[in-house]
Structure 1
Amino acid sequence: MAFAERSRSAFIAVAVLVTAVAAGCSGYHPAPKAFQEATIQPYRLDSGDRLRITVFEQASLSNTYSVDQAGYIAFPLIGSVPARGKTIQEMESIIAGKLRQGYLRDPDVSIEVANYRSIYIMGEVGQAGQYSYVAGMTVQNAIAVAGGFSPRANQANVDVTRKINGEIITGRVPISDPVMAGDTIYVRERLF
């Protein structure tokens, strides 16, 4: 009877282990195709971006403006301008068009991103937190900025949460993949 009871206990232990491993694997989501497509699309503005806007021959209008939490920039003369989801070229056209409506005859507007919105790095890194995004950054660069991998980190791939077309998507990517402004990077603990 003792042997049967031990066999049953061993079977239960194996079943629990298999269930735990299967549950751990169920959280795996490979990066959707939209992840790669988003990295080659024109940059889309969002809250936290700081824009250097130049209106040529109008020094009083040329300045650095922030995209607020609601997704707008407050611009002199024309007020709040929606920026969330717009490209730089779309914003140049919108601002020039609004300035043309009774303020300037033929405004020449140029915009560049002065500071991108932050990225967030969590999990098995030296110093988790919020960091400045730099154009061209990869996951590996971002992890280096956060103090590198911890001794328990899975160094092969990470989970990235990204806003694409207004939808928040999470997927698993290799550390050589590019990072986008606003991404959240989660470095998981390795299994063994």
Structure 2
Amino acid sequence: MKRFIAVGMSCFFVAACSPTHGLRPIGDMSGVYKLGAGDQIRVLTYNDPQLSNTFVVSDSGTIDFPLLGTVRAVGQTPQGFAAALTNQLSNKGLLHKPSVSVEVAQYRPIFVLGEVSRPGQYNYLPGMTMETAVALAGGYTYRAIKDTASVVRTEGVVEERAVKGKIDPQTLLAPGDVVTIYERFF
């Protein structure tokens, strides 16, 4: 919806003044989930409880796994990472026919900034939208723009570089997203 403001004999196009003007929409996250720094994962090695544990993916994208040492986890699906651990345990002769599964115990957090009652860090939950993130942050302030916001996203982007785009209240978020709710000026 385009809005115009008439001032005297002049008319100004207000949409160009929007804080998200010029940002491309960032779509919903769909597809497979890939592990990232800050994710807490549970690794279950069947018939070997000493190799089963919960690990946090480090900032460098690795975990320290018993018998194997440092193993790269970032960018892999949980199933793909389980297969990689299985292959390494088998190829190094550490276990005979190992069976490993990996699940995300806790996703990396999201951050909500700007015109919300309690800006800060919040736990990500699958299916979370901008609207539910704002609800966790205590709701909008009276000055908030409620129909659009910006997000900085690192999940699912090319070359692991962050991208900034605009979202609406029903847009699905991804772990690690930084959502900014802007202030309206009138």
TM range (shorter): 0.7 to 0.9
- Distance apart, 1:190 and its partner CA: 1.6
CA RMSD of aligned residues (A): 2.3
The corresponding residue for 1:70 is 60
| Separation (CA, whole Å) in 2 of partners of 1:26 and 1:143 | 17
Q: 1:83 aligns with which of 48, 73, 85?
A: 73
The corresponding residue for 1:135 is 126
TM superposition score normalised by structure 1 = 0.84
For 1:103, the aligned partner's letter is: L
| Separation (CA, whole Å) in 2 of partners of 1:26 and 1:97 | 46
Matches within 5 A, 1:181-192: 181-192=175-186
Superposed CA deviations along residues 143-189 of structure 1, whole A, max 9, x for unmatched, are 00011101100010110110123121111111111111000000011
Q: 1:108 aligns with which of 87, 99, 102?
A: 99
Q: 1:174 aligns with which of 146, 168, 171?
A: 168
Q: Does the C-alpha gap of structure 1 residues 47 and 102 become closer, same or farther in structure 2, counting only changes over 3 Å?
A: same
For 1:153, the aligned partner's letter is: A
Q: Gaps (5+ residues) in structure 1? A: 1-13
- SS of the aligned residue for 2:51 comes to coil
The corresponding residue for 2:7 is none
| Separation (CA, whole Å) in 2 of partners of 1:53 and 1:180 | 22
**Greater fraction helix:** 1
Percent identity reads 35
For 2:74, the aligned partner's letter is: R
Q: Does the C-alpha gap of structure 1 residues 55 and 25 become closer, same or farther in structure 2, counting only changes over 3 Å?
A: closer
Superposed CA deviations along residues 132-153 of structure 1, whole A, max 9, x for unmatched, are 1111111111100011101100
Superposed CA deviations along residues 15-74 of structure 1, whole A, max 9, x for unmatched, are xxx7x9856568530214xx33xx112001111000011000110011101100100011
Tell me if 1:149 matches 2:148. no
For 2:132, the aligned partner's letter is: N
> How many matched pairs?
175
TM superposition score normalised by structure 2 = 0.86
The corresponding residue for 2:115 is 124
The corresponding residue for 2:4 is none
Q: Does the C-alpha gap of structure 1 residues 158 and 86 become closer, same or farther in structure 2, counting only changes over 3 Å?
A: same
Q: 1:59 aligns with which of 49, 63, 72?
A: 49
Q: Does the C-alpha gap of structure 1 residues 25 and 60 become closer, same or farther in structure 2, counting only changes over 3 Å?
A: closer
Q: Does the C-alpha gap of structure 1 residues 25 and 57 become closer, same or farther in structure 2, counting only changes over 3 Å?
A: closer
Query: In 1, are the aligned partners of 2:20 and 2:150 still within 8 Å (CA)?
Result: no
| Separation (CA, whole Å) in 1 of partners of 2:134 and 2:20 | 25
